[in-house]
């Protein structure tokens, strides 16, 4: 039941993470939303994610992961029930902010639960757990397009019903007790915030999420600018990048090593003996694959390189959380929430930075997207610094 509770919560989060992109065309048509308003709506959801991730950590440490799960799922159900009743831009933005609050709460609590029950196999457990985030993200647009005819109202109510079922499962499941009292959690925040390792892990996840979101939001436009048809570019994103993330996360969950390492001799594979080294290898692979995928105009070659980029990125998010949970066993929820919050900051500003560099010119987008391998290079440096302050694990 503990595993089911965590899996369902992460699946629900995957569904709501893909919700905005799926329903925005329908909402824009119904309420005549401008691109600027769409951007503001996305920003409000990201702000909700950041606020929740920072604030829920101490709550989880003092009251337990079950409290975080229940609160997050209740907020999600409320937001999804209210969203179809919106009358305009202001209410849509408010309800997406609530959806961000609920999503940030359950992703922190669910990964905290996964850490608590993994029994020394945290990296494997979190990689497999976060596989269901990808499945949820694929389910939302698939259900909307193939079962609901793109009707955003029906999609919101269906997702609310699934969230309600997840809430019932979590409410009925006995979960691990809090790791400490509220006073102890609050007293330890100063020491935690003063840890260089926490800030480096936060920067590492910030760079990773900004890079992943950069691919999600800008790859199709880049491929179209290279002369690849839109339909082919969309398939490269879904069957290339999204599939690469899923396949790579399954492989990392079962082997604790990035999938690309399987082509190396076994003697070299044994060098990857710690979670820190896994994320270092993944960052190096990200640097190479994201750079190469920007250099081709051939759809087949681009599809292969984008798939490999997805495989390379797959273990980074869950493995970074595993490192965080191991490094901070006394205030795990607070540490996870802090690191995840920086990831959401990367989500919020990534596209704005890339768009500003591109300046609205499709021909300049390729140069702007060189930020992706650039961020991977900085990830390598941060990871090497982490090797100096964290024990291998």
Closest CA to 79 of 104, 60, 107, 102: 102
- Give the integer Cα–Cα distance in Å for 30 and 185: 46
Q: How far from 387 is each of 175, 279, 306, 323, 384, CA to CA, in Å?
A: 33, 11, 29, 11, 5
User: 365-375: per-residue pLDDT in tens?
Assistant: 888 899 999 99
Q: Would the pLDDT of 182 be above 70?
A: no
- Which token pair is 14? 């995957």
- Per-residue confidence band for 308, with pLDDT thresholds at 50, 70 and 90: very high
> Where along the chain do its domains lie?
2-178, 193-389
Q: What is the pLDDT of residue 190?
A: 66
User: 238-259: per-residue pLDDT in tens?
Assistant: 778 888 888 888 877 665 555 5
Task: State the CB neighbour count (10 A cutoff) for residue 209.
Answer: 24
CATH architecture of 193-389: Up-down Bundle (1.20)
Q: What is the pLDDT of residue 78?
A: 97
Rounded average pLDDT over 178-206: 76
Please say whether the beta carbons of 52 and 58 come within 8 A.
no
Rounded average pLDDT over 184-195: 68
**DSSP string of 79-124?**
HHHHGGG--SHHHHHHHHHHHHHHHHHHHHHHHHHHHHHSTT-HHH
120 vs 114, residue with greater confidence: 114
CATH architecture of 2-178: Up-down Bundle (1.20)
Closest CA to 371 of 231, 145, 218, 185: 218
Please say whether the beta carbons of 115 and 332 come within 8 A.
yes
Asked if domains 2-178 and 193-389 share a fold, the reply is yes
Q: Is 356 exposed, middle or buried (0-12, 13-18, 19+ CB in 10 A)?
A: exposed
- Give the integer Cα–Cα distance in Å for 387 and 102: 34
Please say whether the beta carbons of 289 and 221 come within 8 A.
no
- Give the integer Cα–Cα distance in Å for 107 and 121: 19
User: 7-63: per-residue pLDDT in tens?
Assistant: 899 999 988 887 887 787 788 888 988 867 877 888 898 899 999 988 888 888 788
Q: What is the pLDDT of residue 81?
A: 96
Q: What average pLDDT does the chain have? A: 84
- Give the integer Cα–Cα distance in Å for 290 and 98: 34
The alpha carbon of residue 51 and the mean position of all alpha carbons in its chain are separated, in whole angstroms, by: 16
Q: What is the pLDDT of residue 120?
A: 66
219 vs 166, residue with greater confidence: 166
Dihedral sign (CA 62, 64, 65, 71): negative
Q: Would the pLDDT of 271 be above 60?
A: no
- Give the integer Cα–Cα distance in Å for 335 and 198: 7
Q: How far from 92 is each of 31, 75, 95, 110, 153, CA to CA, in Å?
A: 10, 15, 5, 26, 12
Rounded average pLDDT over 207-236: 85
Rounded average pLDDT over 322-326: 88
State the angle between helix axes of 316-327 and 275-293 in degrees (0 to 180), rounded to the nearest 10: 150
Rounded average pLDDT over 117-142: 77
Q: Would the pLDDT of 175 be above 70?
A: yes
- Residue 69, classed as helix, strand or coil, is helix
What is the CA angle 354-360-366, rounded to 5?
A: 55
- Which token pair is 195? 């840890």
| pTM exceeds 0.85 | no
- Give the integer Cα–Cα distance in Å for 249 and 216: 17
Please say whether the beta carbons of 192 and 335 come within 8 A.
yes
């Amino acid at each position: 039941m503990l595993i089911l509770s965590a899996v369902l919560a992460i699946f629900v989060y995957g569904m709501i993470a893909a919700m905005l992109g799926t329903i925005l065309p329908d909402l824009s048509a119904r309420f005549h939303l401008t691109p600027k308003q769409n951007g503001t709506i996305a920003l409000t959801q990201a702000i909700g994610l950041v606020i929740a991730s920072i604030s829920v950590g101490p709550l989880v440490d003092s009251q337990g992961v079950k409290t975080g799960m229940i609160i997050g799922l209740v907020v999600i159900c409320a937001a999804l029930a209210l969203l179809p009743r919106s009358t305009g831009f202001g209410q849509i933005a408010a309800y997406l902010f609530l959806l961000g609050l609920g999503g940030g709460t359950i992703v922190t609590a669910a990964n905290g639960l996964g850490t608590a029950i993994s029994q020394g196999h945290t990296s494997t457990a979190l990689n497999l757990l976060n596989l269901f985030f990808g499945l949820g993200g694929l389910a939302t647009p698939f259900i909307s397009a193939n079962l609901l005819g793109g009707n955003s109202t029906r999609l919101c109510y269906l997702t609310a019903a699934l969230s309600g079922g997840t809430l019932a499962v979590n409410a009925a499941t006995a979960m691990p007790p809090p790791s400490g009292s509220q006073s102890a959690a609050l007293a330890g925040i100063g020491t935690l915030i003063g840890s260089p390792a926490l800030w480096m892990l936060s920067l590492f996840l910030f760079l990773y999420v900004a890079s992943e979101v950069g691919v999600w939001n800008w790859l199709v436009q880049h491929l179209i600018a290279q002369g690849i048809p839109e339909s082919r570019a969309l398939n490269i994103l879904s069957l290339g990048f999204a599939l690469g993330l899923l396949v790579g996360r399954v492989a990392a969950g079962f082997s604790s090593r990035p999938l690309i390492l399987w082509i190396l001799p076994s003697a070299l594979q044994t060098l990857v003996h710690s979670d820190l080294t896994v994320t270092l290898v993944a960052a190096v692979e990200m640097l190479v694959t994201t750079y190469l995928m920007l250099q081709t105009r051939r759809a087949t070659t681009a599809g292969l390189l984008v798939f490999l980029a997805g495989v390379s990125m797959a273990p980074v998010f869950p493995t970074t959380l595993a490192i965080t949970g191991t490094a901070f066993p006394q205030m795990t929820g607070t540490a996870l929430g802090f690191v995840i919050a920086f990831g959401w900051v990367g989500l919020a500003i990534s596209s704005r930075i890339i768009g500003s560099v591109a300046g609205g010119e499709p021909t300049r987008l390729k140069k702007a997207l060189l930020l992706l391998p650039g961020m991977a290079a900085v990830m390598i440096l941060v990871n090497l610094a982490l090797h100096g302050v964290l024990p291998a694990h």
